[in-house]
Structure 1
Amino acid sequence: MSVSPSLLPLSLIVTRLRAVGCVFAEDEARLLLSTARTPDELAAMVDRRVAGLPLEHVLGWAEFCGLRIAVDPGVFVPRRRTEFLVRQAAALARPRAVVVDLCCGSGAVGAALAAALDRIELHAADIDPAAVRCARRNIAAAHGQAYEGDLYQPLPSALRGRVDVLVANAPYVPTEAIGLLPPEARVHEPRAALDGGADGLDVQRRVTAAASRWLAPGGHLLIETSERQAPQTVALFTRNGLIPQLSSSDELDATIVIGTRPALQSGHRPRHRK
């Protein structure tokens, strides 16, 4: 049940939001009104937003690929640009594919892939306990499993060599650039979900180094990166035995690198000289 606008006028909420610099104050006010269940809850939500909390943390959800993804306070908020990663991964996946969402955060990418594809086997992992709790809720409908731990470490060993699609929205912001991020991200999202090390590629290096051991022959690794970092990301894929392909979206300002593990050549037999 949403709160009646007469109990707390839309115009008052908009005025308060605009005063603290919310660019889309009217849209945000409507979302707050439609989400709050009581006037007291609405007032508290407006106060939290005015104090600088991300709108998604105040609402308790984020819209992503047409889904409502639960996002708890302190959990990385899925970005719209990452919808491009989902589109590219969905185009590569076959029915009943084995899909792994590394650095899963709220599990938004895995949940969106499960919604787009036919009966996938979904696994997700993140180092942040709060993110894993959130991801478990978001992928439960797809019977997905979420694990707490560092990258591949918590995944079941039975997945080695079986993964058809491995997606990794790994942190890629260089450490020195963290201070330039908007306060909503810098203050309210976990540092581990943002900081990619000195050049932003530390986690990408670790993901690509082990990917071939987990991918099935012909399987794909997809990593979101920046346009500036893309050549280095491509080089990481090549160095680790993956066939790279760069893909980008001007609409979403998104760049990803797709790496394919070479498929086994069926029927190939070594030739023996007579």
Structure 2
Amino acid sequence: MRPADDATLREFETWLSLLTDGELPERHKWKAWFCVAEYEQPDFEAVSAMLRDNNASGSFVFLGRDAEEQAESMEMLDADGHEIAFHSHRHHTYAELSYDDAHDAITTGLAAIEDATGLSPDGFFAPFLDLSDGTVQVIEEVGFDWVLGRTDHEPDGIEITPPVIPFDTTLLEDHSPSEMMGQLREKADAGESPFLFHPPVIEFEDGMDALEEWIQAVEPVTVAEQIASGGTGMVLDCVRPVRIK
């Protein structure tokens, strides 16, 4: 038997911890869906068209792990005026990573995306948000323009910002899509930003019409544009989080 490498094991253990409290409650069924649902080219095209049709844009995050398979989607989104951002090489927490492990995960993933598409992401959305001091050190060295995450460390030259919390997946466990979007509309009207959305989960909850209504009202922009000229930044995470291979 060939043992799993450390990165694969870390990814699996992170997600298994969400699913081992006995029978999966109804409010958590989206997690199982998100672990197996695969967004493909037509799905990305539909979300891109929804944004463009409503004078909006967004920052779509991708894993280095999927770069070759999803290169066409990244290139299409970039051509449509959206931002391609980084979401790690594999989908695991950075809360406890050493400098060396974080450096390997970040540089390997960035190189995979650049090799597959020629694109060099300037933004980083950290899976599960929390960042170790070693990860922050790598972030400083890599020189991202923006990072969506949480840390007690004060980085040099870059602001690490959490998304508006609670975000969509948390709210959808207890609210209908229209109620969830209503709450997030209030936060947008109050000037809070950036917002994090998971279109596959919203689709699972039959909430795409409610998402489009939010987009029509807010007219979000990429996080890069938000930094440059203001507006409400929008991060879209369509990544299948678990792939064991």
TM range (shorter): 0.3 to 0.5
**Higher-strand-fraction structure:** 1
**Higher-helix-fraction structure:** 2
When normalised by structure 1's length, the TM-score is: 0.32
**RCO comparison, higher one (Cα < 8 Å, 6+):** 2
When normalised by structure 2's length, the TM-score is: 0.34
Query: Looking at CA atoms only, which structure, 1 or 2, has the larger radius of gyration?
Result: 1
